[in-house]
């Protein structure tokens, strides 16, 4: 065997090895990106559900709850009032109109039936609403408070993923959409998610 054949075979083996290494690295990066995207979709779905529950809780109770047990109980046992509003316009003797608003309560409807029924969320375990998907027992951070904004007392809420799978998501990032997944704010009146 001459040196040209040996060198050709050696370079061919190195090229095949290098191609395999690069291909496996690219495949790993693509698979990891898909895994992270899939996990984040699960977290976003859970955050959206929590947001829906907290907004309903606010509409019924006048404030958000920072207690997971209270939120779970509300989702399963809470009720909305069904009301009917009517107005009566009375013309006063001097020509102005006076409006009398009548609000009648017609009944109640369970929160579970209107927002969280089995048909909308099949097999969902509401007792695990605070657990971040696919992380074992990591919990969402739930913050609620009343702050003064523009001279008015307002309710604020922030729910945050405490165990982001994406290594690029951390609190040190300046851009809000690069921070761990969350909705709401501790300082502003919003329930917008940073994925939106």
What is the tens place of the pLDDT at every residue in 129-178? 888 988 878 889 999 999 888 888 999 999 999 888 888 888 887 877 78
Task: Give CB contacts under 8 A, 24+ apart, made by 103-107.
Answer: 105/81, 106/82, 107/81, 107/82
**pLDDT greater than 90 at residue 34:** no
Residues linked to residue 131 through DSSP beta bridges, in sequence order: 139
In whole angstroms, what is the distance from residue 60 CA to residue 147 CA?
Answer: 20
In whole angstroms, what is the distance from residue 31 CA to residue 25 CA?
Answer: 10
Of residues 183 and 123, more confidence is placed in 183
């Amino acid at each position: 065997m001459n040196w040209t054949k040996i060198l050709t075979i050696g370079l061919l083996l190195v090229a095949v090895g290098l191609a395999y290494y690069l291909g496996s690295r690219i495949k790993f990066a693509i698979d990891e990106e898909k895994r992270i995207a899939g996990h984040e979709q699960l977290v976003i779905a859970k955050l959206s559900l929590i947001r829906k529950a907290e907004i309903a809780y606010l509409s019924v109770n006048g404030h958000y709850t920072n207690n997971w047990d209270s939120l779970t109980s509300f989702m399963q046992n809470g009720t909305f009032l069904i009301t009917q509003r009517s107005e009566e316009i009375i013309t006063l003797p001097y020509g102005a109109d006076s409006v009398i608003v009548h609000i009648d309560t017609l009944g109640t409807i369970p929160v579970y039936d209107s927002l969280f029924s089995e048909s909308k969320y099949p097999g969902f375990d509401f007792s695990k609403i605070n657990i971040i998907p696919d992380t074992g027992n990591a919990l969402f951070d739930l913050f609620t408070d009343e702050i003064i904004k523009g001279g008015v007392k307002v309710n604020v809420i922030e729910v945050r993923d405490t165990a982001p799978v994406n290594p690029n998501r951390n609190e040190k990032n300046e851009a809000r959409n690069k921070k761990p997944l969350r909705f709401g704010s501790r300082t502003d009146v919003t329930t917008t998610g940073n994925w939106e």
